[in-house]
Amino acid sequence: MRKLLCAASLATMIAAGGASAEELRIGFINSLNHPIGKWQVNGFRLGLEHLGWKKNGDKIEGVSVSVEYCDDQVKPDVGLSCAKKFIEKSNVQIVAGIIWSNVMNALRTTVVRNKTILMSTNAGSSLLAGRNCSRYFISTSWENHQNAQAMGRLVTDEGIKRAFFLGPNYQAGKDNLNGFKSTYKGRVIGTIMYKLGARDFQSELTRVRAARPEAVVTFSPGPMGIAFMKQWAASGLGKSTKLYQIFVVDHITLLPIGKAAVGTFHTNQWDSDSTRPANQKFVKAYIAKHKIHPNHFGAQAYDGALLIASGIRGTGGKVNDTLALMKAMRKANYASVRGKYRYNVNGIPIQNFYKREVVLGPNGKPQIRTVGLVYANHVDSQWRKCKKSERIN
C-alpha cells in the first residue's frame, strides 16, 4: 500500500510539474518611439502589473510569462521582421500590440499561418475582420469602420446635410472614410486623403473654406491630429463650421491641443467617465503612475493584458494549445474598462460607442465629457466576409 501511495504521489508531482512547465511568451509590436506607441506600452505594462507581473518569469494565473518588445518604426516591412523574429527565435504563442493597419496587414499571414495568436490592441484593419479573418486573430479595439460609422450616425442625427471628410491615405484612413459614408445620410461634398504623417494642413483647410461645408469630419490620430487642431483653430473655420473628429482629441492629446479643442465632438468606444470599478482602478492607477489621464490607446492595451490572463485562466494554464487559448480569450471573461462586451465570430468586439464633447471645466481648462450613447452593442460590418472555416462561434 505504501508503495502504491508513493507511486501515486510521484505521478501527481510529475503531472503538476508538467503543467507548471508551460510558459507563455508574448511578443509586443508597436511604434515604440511614437506617442501612441508609448501610451500603448504604458497601458499594457500597467495591466501586467495589476496581474502581479513585473518581470520575465513572473507568473500570471500560475503560468510563467515572458514579454519582448519590438519597434515597427511605423513601417510594414519592419513590423513583419519583428513578427518573424518573435516566431522563429522566441517561439511566442502571442503576437500583440500593433498600431497601424498597414503594418497589421503585412504581418498577418506570417503570424496566423504559424498558428500563433495575433492580438491587436489598436489596428482595426477591415481585411482582418473580413476576407482575411483568422481564428487566431482577436482585438481589444475595434474594426476601422465602426467608430466612423458611429460618427456618421451622430452627424446625421445632428442634422448636418453637407460634410467634408479628411484623413490620411492608408488602410485605416480609407476604412474610416467608407465607414462614415456608410451611415451618413447627408452629402459628402469633399474628401481629402493626405499623406500619412502629415503636419501641414494649410492647403487642405483652404479647400475646406472654399467648399463651405456645415461640418468637417477628420480622422487624424496622434501628432497629425494635434497639428490639425492647432491649424484649425488658427484658421477661424470653427466659427462657421462644426468639427467632428475620430481618434484626434483624447485625454492626452488634449494637453498640447488646449482650448482649440473646445466645442468639438468625437465618438469613442470607451466611456472614460464611467464609475465602474474596473475603469476607476485603471484610470486612478494610470494617473498615479504617469501623472496624466490615460486615453483609449492605453485603455485598449490595458485590456489586452487582462484578456490574455482570462485566456490562461480559461485553459487551466495550458497555453501551448493556441487555438484553445484563443477560444478562452474570445469569451471575454474579465473586467474590462469599457464594461461587459462580447466577441463577434471574427474576433472583433461587439461594444458600445459614445458621443464625447470637449468643454471648459470648472477650472477653466478643457475637459472631455461623455454626453450620450450613439450605438449600443455595435456589430462590425465586415464579419459576413469572414470565411466560415475561420470563425469562432
Which CATH number describes the domain made up of 145-268+352-378?
3.40.50.2300
Cell for 161? 446635410
- What is the per-residue pLDDT for 15? 39
- What is the per-residue pLDDT for 12? 41
Fold of the 2-142+274-340 domain: Rossmann fold (3.40.50)
User: Left (φ > 0), alpha (ψ -120 to 50) or beta: where does 97 sit?
Assistant: left
Of 35, 46, 95, nearest to 290 (Cα)? 46
pTM of whole model > 0.85? Answer: yes
pLDDT digits 0-9 by tens, 284-308: 999 999 999 999 999 999 999 999 9
Cell for 249? 482629441
- What is the per-residue pLDDT for 340? 95
Tell how strand 342-343 and strand 349-360 pair up.
antiparallel
- What is the per-residue pLDDT for 6? 41
Other beta carbons less than 10 A from residue 67's beta carbon: 20
Cell for 176? 474610416
Other beta carbons less than 10 A from residue 254's beta carbon: 24
The size of the chain, in residues, is 393
Cell for 65? 510569462
- What is the per-residue pLDDT for 222? 86
Tell how strand 94-97 and strand 63-71 pair up.
unpaired
- What is the per-residue pLDDT for 140? 98
Q: Would you list the DSSP string of 247-287?
A: SS--TTTHHHHGGGGTT-EEEES--TT---HHHHHHHHHHH
- Find all residues with CB under 8 Å of 197, minimum gap 6, and list them: 74, 168, 223, 224
Amino acid occupying residue 66? S
Could you tell me the residue ranges of all domains in the chain?
2-142+274-340, 145-268+352-378
Of 325, 303, 300, nearest to 314 (Cα)? 325
- What is the per-residue pLDDT for 20? 46
- Find all residues with CB under 8 Å of 290, minimum gap 6, and list them: 42
User: Left (φ > 0), alpha (ψ -120 to 50) or beta: where does 280 sit?
Assistant: alpha
Cα dist from 110 to 95, 104, 114, 132, 136, whole Å: 11, 11, 7, 12, 12
- What is the per-residue pLDDT for 171? 86
- What is the per-residue pLDDT for 1? 46
Q: What angle do helix axes 35-50 and 277-290 make, rounded to 10 degrees? A: 120
Show the low-confidence residues of the chain (pLDDT under 50).
Answer: 1-20
Cell for 320? 501551448
The reply to whether domains 2-142+274-340 and 145-268+352-378 share a CATH topology is yes
Q: Spell out the alpha helix ranges (H) of the chain.
A: 2-20, 35-50, 76-88, 101-113, 126-129, 144-157, 171-183, 202-211, 223-235, 254-257, 277-290, 296-314, 322-329
Q: Write the secondary structure of 300-362 as one string of H (helix), E (strand) and C (coil).
A: HHHHHHHHHHHHHHHCCCCCCCHHHHHHHHCCCCCCCCCCCCEECCCCCEEEEEEEEEEEECC
